[in-house]
Amino acid sequence: MTLFGAVTLAFALSACGGSGGEEKDGRAPSPGVSKSESSADADAGPPEGGRPISEVNGNGITLTVDSAVRDGGGFLTVSGKVTNNKGALWLAGEWKSDERELSKSAGSMAGATVVDTAGKKKYLILRDTSGRCLCTMFEGGIDPNESVDWFAQFPAPPAETSKVQLQVPTMPPATIEISEG
């Protein structure tokens, strides 16, 4: 399946899912996750043994990766925790995507990518039909010394790829091992 086909499938699947409800302004609910909510994938927590599969620090923020699961539908869901070690509210503005289509996903994981270094391929974050990333939206920011669950979905690299690098703007790359879901 081509990248275009995988993204098209992601749009179709995301358009079919959810509660079908609308927000007060008539828009469909955002696929993002607020501080008080988390996705089922993010609830999975660290792998057996309680240790994250990767952790990186940058600019007073700690990004922990607890899982990277490839599912049968061709998607890779990466999840973990973000901890604000700064002395002030963090709004995640520097993690936004430069893509115009993802402008509605400011304050989110929208700028994240997955790089298959062996296959020399970069995978951009998936998005829904409204142009929002299939990732956590840090609505209202993260307070000092607070940790919040996060998730991000990407097209899955080929089955023979077992390790990739998660790249989030302003953070060093995090090498992660993919598990099969």
DSSP annotation string for 23-89: -TTSPPPPSS--TT---TTGGG-SPTTS--SEEEEETTEEEEEEEEEE-TTSEEEEEEEEEE-SSS-
Around Cβ 123, how many Cβ atoms within 10 Å?
19
pLDDT score at 48: 55
> Rounded mean pLDDT of 133-140?
93
Q: Could you report the per-residue pLDDT of 82-102, keeping only the tens digit for each?
A: 999 999 999 998 998 888 888
Q: Mapping DSSP to helix (H, G, I), strand (E, B) and coil, where does residue 93 land?
A: helix
Residue 92 is assigned to a structural domain of this protein: yes
pLDDT score at 49: 56
pLDDT score at 99: 86
Residue 57 is assigned to a structural domain of this protein: yes
pLDDT score at 180: 92
Question: Residue 24 pLDDT > 60, yes or no?
Answer: no
pLDDT score at 35: 35
Question: Residue 17 pLDDT > 80, yes or no?
Answer: no
Residue 131 is assigned to a structural domain of this protein: yes
Q: Where in the sequence is the domain holding 79, given as residue range(s)?
A: 3-16+31-180
- Reported confidence tier of residue 47, pLDDT bands at 50, 70, 90: low
pTM higher than 0.85 for the full model? no
> Rounded mean pLDDT of 128-155?
94
The CATH code of the domain that includes 174 is 2.60.40
Strand-pairing partners, residue 151, are: 79
* Nearest by Cα to 181 from 71, 80, 88, 58: 71
Residue 26 is assigned to a structural domain of this protein: no
pLDDT score at 150: 97
148 half-sphere exposure, CB direction, 13 A CA radius: 29
Mark residue 61 as left, alpha or beta (left: phi above 0; alpha: psi -120 to 50; beta: remaining): beta
pLDDT score at 145: 96
The tally of domains found in the chain comes to 1
What backbone torsions phi and psi does residue 63 show, to the nearest 5 degrees? -110, 115
Token readout for 71 is 């599912």
d(CA 78, CA 163): 12
Residue 78 is assigned to a structural domain of this protein: yes
Do 137 and 112 contact (CB within 8 A), yes or no?
no
What backbone torsions phi and psi does residue 120 show, to the nearest 5 degrees? 55, 50
Residue 22 is assigned to a structural domain of this protein: no
